[in-house]
Amino acid sequence: MKRNLVYLLMLVCSVTLFTGCSDDDDDKVNPFGTYAGTLDVVLTTLGDEPIPFQSSESVQLIKGSSDTNFSFLLKNLILNPGADGAMPIGHINIDNIDLVSVKDGEYTFTKKISNLTIAAGDKAGIDKDGWMGPTLGVLYPAGIPVELEGTIKGNKVTVNLKIVLEDMMDIAVKFAGTK
């Protein structure tokens, strides 16, 4: 009987040697995807008071050529949506943004470009010629200067976007969303 008890004890001890932990990579946060949230915009035109407005939007962080590179896409940006003075701008697409890991599940990114081209949007009810993006391309043939910065913490993203149209307007955009 003692012998059986010893064998049982040895069996229990040997089974515990074969247990393992899960791979840490399984918990790795994927920063790419679509984030839904709130878009806060402040529009400042030459000589006028700033005009703030807010809307519910989504942005996409699209994986690029590596795990640390992506594209930012804000589709159908409309200034002052739902109002009589709404200004459809278009798609803001910024490529080749480097993602910097701060710590597990936390990232930052910045990108400054001087030649953004804004494409017409595709929102239902707005004619293709009603989008300002292509017109801005004619007014600013060298492109539009843009500054982008943001943070990703887990499944949350915060993005600040600044578009400066010299002699016309400044557009400050802040987006906070969740994947």
Q: Is residue 83 part of a domain?
A: yes
Q: Is residue 166 part of a domain?
A: yes
Tokens of 116: 């953004």
Looking at residue 96, which CATH number applies to its domain?
2.40.128
Q: Is residue 36 part of a domain?
A: yes
| Poorest-pLDDT segment among 14-18, 75-79, 136-140 | 14-18
How many domains does the chain fold into? 1
Residue-level pLDDT at 68 = 92
Q: How far apart are CA 71 and CA 165, in angstroms?
A: 22
The pLDDT tens digits for 22-54 are 444 445 779 999 999 999 999 898 788 898 999
Q: Is residue 19 part of a domain?
A: no
Q: Is residue 12 part of a domain?
A: no
pTM (2 d.p.): 0.80
* Segments forming the whole domain that contains residue 74: 29-178
Q: How far apart are CA 53 and CA 81, in angstroms?
A: 8
The pLDDT tens digits for 80-109 are 766 677 889 999 999 999 999 988 889 999
Query: Cβ distance 97 to 109 under 8 Å?
Result: yes
